[in-house]
Amino acid sequence: MKKIILSLVTMFSLVMFTKAQTSGAVVTTSPSSFTAEDVVTITIDVSAVGNLAGRSPLYMWTWNPGNPAPGNGDWTNSNEARRLTNVGPNKWAVTFKPTEFYGKPPSEITKIEFLVKAKDASGDLKTNDIALLVDPLVYTPTVFRTFPKFIGKNEIITAYLDQPISTDLVTTRMNPTTAEISIFNGSTQVGTTKTVNLRNEGNKLWSYTFFPPALFNLSASAIVDRFKIKFKGTILDVNGIPVPAESPLFEKGLDDLK
């Protein structure tokens, strides 16, 4: 019995260890969001991927929306056309326009799926699967949006909550008054969370305009790559008494605009 338990524990550990050796890739895109017609640079940091950290060169292996010409090659011998560009220690990048890269119309490119691997990926020398969503070419209203769409840390940003198109019942019914905004570099928060008063734009549209260096007292050298916002207010309970309520947390990437 002891032997069976030991074997099971060993097997489980092996599975977990193998998974840990292929997970941990940090993927960023520039611009932060893109359509199938935009030129995008995808950067993959494999520092935390045990099986790939320190290896060179690395290759892209992609299958969705298709296998781009001239192909990925073989699992044990990647096509040189899929070789990634080294842009720093354990950082690899590829730049392309999705429609040209995959040779498909924009309507067929809604998601890009790929992984990063060694030329010969035998022995799991690869990352886990990576998926990136591709924005549609037509405008799609969303409950949270910013103006402008592409924003940077030194730009004037207006964040909007468009209540009527919310699918979240609390957000739809809430009487918004404030928002909590925080700014991040990766997963690390920079500065403190700020609570700000919302402006009523009419028709249940709420907004707040801010300039990140001023709101967060950012230095010129501060590095930030995203901000998060939660809209807060009140909602009536069963007795008609206002109680605190809040929207889901929304996140938006910051681009390096110059």
Partner 1 sequence: MKKITFIIAIAGLLLFAACKPAAIKDYEAYSAVNVTSFQGVWQLTKVTQTDEDSRRKLFPYKTLDLTSSLNFTDVKVTFNLTGNTPAGLSINYGAAPQIFKISSGTWKLDDNNKPGILWMINGPDTAKFTLGAYSQLANKKMSLKQAKSLGNTEMITYEYEFSKN
- Min dist CB 255 to partner 1, Å, is 5
User: Judged by CB, which is closer to partner 1: 55, or 194?
Assistant: 194
- Min dist CB 160 to partner 1, Å, is 9
* 247 vs 227: CA distance, rounded Å: 15
Among 61, 66, 3, 74, CA closest to 36: 66
- Min dist CB 45 to partner 1, Å, is 20
Distance in angstroms between the alpha carbons of the first and the last residue of the chain: 66
Token pair, residue 115, equals 């992984």
* 3 vs 136: CA distance, rounded Å: 55
Residues that bind partner 1 (CB under 8 A): 30-31, 35, 39, 137, 139, 145, 147-150, 152, 154-156, 158, 209-211, 213-214, 220, 255-258
User: Judged by CB, which is closer to partner 1: 17, or 147?
Assistant: 147
DSSP code for 164:
G
* 87 vs 94: CA distance, rounded Å: 10
* 148 vs 160: CA distance, rounded Å: 11
User: Judged by CB, which is closer to partner 1: 68, or 212?
Assistant: 212
User: Judged by CB, which is closer to partner 1: 155, or 180?
Assistant: 155
User: Judged by CB, which is closer to partner 1: 59, or 206?
Assistant: 206
- Min dist CB 134 to partner 1, Å, is 14
User: Judged by CB, which is closer to partner 1: 30, or 178?
Assistant: 30
- Min dist CB 97 to partner 1, Å, is 12
Give the phi and the psi of residue 149 in degrees, each rounded to 5. Answer: -70, -45
- Min dist CB 29 to partner 1, Å, is 11
Who's near 196: CB < 8 A, 6+ residues apart? Answer: 178, 179, 181, 208, 210, 215
The number of residues in the chain equals 258
Q: By the 8 A CB rule, do 177 and 232 touch? A: yes
